[in-house]
Structure 1
Amino acid sequence: MSLRAIIHLCLHAAVPALLAWLFWRPQFGKAWLVMLLGWVIDLDHLLADPVYVPDRCSVGFHPLHTAPAIALYAGLVVPQRTRLFGIGLVLHIALDAIDCMWMRCSS
């Protein structure tokens, strides 16, 4: 696994932890866990053949990483009941998009 991939995966855990600590400190564990549930959208990688390609940008390629899905995730940020999950999903997409840019810059 490349250094880029390792950093990318670590950011998927670290950035939600940082946000939970900064904004939901009294409920840190719950907030972090709910935002980590944003990883559920990576189940769409199982539909691809091959499942994992280290240099493939997931944004726009996998069904749960497309614009209509992203619009839905943004909508989940609005109601308080789904806000943390929505933030986790939007954050997941943002980190994936940063990884895509990193791939383009390094190739």
Structure 2
Amino acid sequence: MQTTLHYFLHFGAPFFIAYLFFKNDWKKAYLILLATMLVDLDHLLATPIFEADRCSINFHPLHTYWAMIVYVAFLFLNKTLRIIGIGLLFHMITDAIDCMMT
């Protein structure tokens, strides 16, 4: 169940966010939200790259509280950066939920 929820929150929920909040440009918004998953490239810096029970929050550089402050700042900038900020913050929430479930 944890894996299903995790991947739904990464792929399904952004669709609903895009469709509900960016009706005129929902396809573009959805693609931007999906692109924010590139934040997970920072996992490549860890050794080992994948560890099932490791919590990403405050472990990987782009998953730190300092990085999240920058993501919040994106919410106050232009529309594209706002969508990116929403995607990154939602990604952090998803990973935090995953941490709570492990």
Using structure 2 for the length normalisation, give the TM-score. 0.92
RMSD of aligned alpha carbons: 1.1
Query: CA separation in 1, counterparts of 2:7 and 2:71?
Result: 20
Q: Which position in structure 2 is the counterpart of 1:17?
A: 15
Q: Which position in structure 2 is the counterpart of 1:47?
A: 45
User: Between the two proteins, what is the percent identity of the paired residues?
Assistant: 43
Q: Is the 8 A contact 1:8 1:99 kept in 2?
A: yes
Q: Is the 8 A contact 1:20 1:32 kept in 2?
A: yes
Q: Is the 8 A contact 1:77 1:83 kept in 2?
A: yes
Correspondence 1:59-78 to 2 at 5 A: 59-78=57-76
Q: What is the letter of the counterpart of residue 27 of structure 1?
A: D
Deviating 4+ runs (over 2 angstroms): none
Please list every run of 5 or more consecutive structure 2 residues that lacks an aligned counterpart in the other structure.
none
Query: CA separation in 2, counterparts of 1:8 and 1:60?
Result: 18
Correspondence 1:24-103 to 2 at 5 A: 24-81=22-79, 82-103=81-102
Query: Secondary structure at 1:51's aligned position in 2?
Result: coil
Q: What is the letter of the counterpart of residue 52 of structure 1?
A: F
Aligned length, in residue pairs: 101
Q: What is the letter of the counterpart of residue 84 of structure 1?
A: I
Query: CA separation in 2, counterparts of 1:23 and 1:102?
Result: 28
Q: Is the 8 A contact 1:5 1:54 kept in 2?
A: no
Query: CA separation in 2, counterparts of 1:25 and 1:99?
Result: 29
Q: Is the 8 A contact 1:77 1:86 kept in 2?
A: yes
Please list every run of 5 or more consecutive structure 1 residues that lacks an aligned counterpart in the other structure.
none
